[in-house]
């Protein structure tokens, strides 16, 4: 039996004993995946799916933004919210000691909004 691939977020939820459902979707490794298509592929309402983006400010501080999956991060507004002169999207993470990029799944996250 193959071991289930888990993100750090999934491990954190399990440690905190928070119930969650993992949604998988077909995509090619290294190909960009947009939130609207992920919502469609997983049967979710695009208005309830959010993405997590990491940006870097002029001060070299990292900032995490959670925005609707179908929207784009306005970097000027992000900089203003962070009190920075500018922000840029952080480069993809790389494995320690490796020049290879970690999978798209590990470098970005798409999450449905919690139902209350």
**42: pLDDT strictly greater than 60:** yes
Bridge pairing between strands 87-89 and 49-57: antiparallel
Report pLDDT digits (tens) over 63-108.
Answer: 999 999 888 999 999 999 999 999 999 887 644 444 344 333 333 4
pLDDT-based confidence at 26, cuts 50/70/90? confident
Asked if 93 and 101 touch (Cβ cutoff 8 Å), the reply is: yes
CA–CA separation, 77 vs 73, rounded Å?
Answer: 8
Query: Among 18, 28, 20, which residue's Cα sits nearest to residue 4?
Result: 20
Predicted pLDDT at 113: 52
Q: What pTM, to 2 d.p., does this model score?
A: 0.62
Please tell me the predicted confidence (pLDDT) of residue 75. 95
pLDDT at site 77? 95
CB atoms within 10 A of CB 100: 7
User: According to the model, what pLDDT value does residue 81 have?
Assistant: 95
Residue 16 has pLDDT above 70, yes or no: yes
């Amino acid at each position: 039996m193959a071991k289930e691939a888990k993100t750090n977020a999934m491990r954190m939820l399990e440690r905190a004993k928070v119930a969650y459902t993992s949604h998988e979707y077909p995509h090619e490794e290294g190909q960009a995946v947009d939130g609207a298509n992920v919502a469609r592929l997983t049967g979710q309402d695009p208005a309830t799916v959010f993405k997590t983006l990491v940006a870097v400010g002029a001060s070299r501080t990292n900032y995490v933004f959670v925005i609707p999956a179908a929207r784009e991060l306005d970097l000027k507004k992000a900089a203003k919210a962070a009190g920075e002169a500018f922000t840029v999207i952080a480069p993809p993470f790389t494995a320690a000691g490796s020049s290879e990029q970690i999978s798209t799944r590990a470098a970005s996250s798409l999450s449905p909004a919690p139902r209350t």
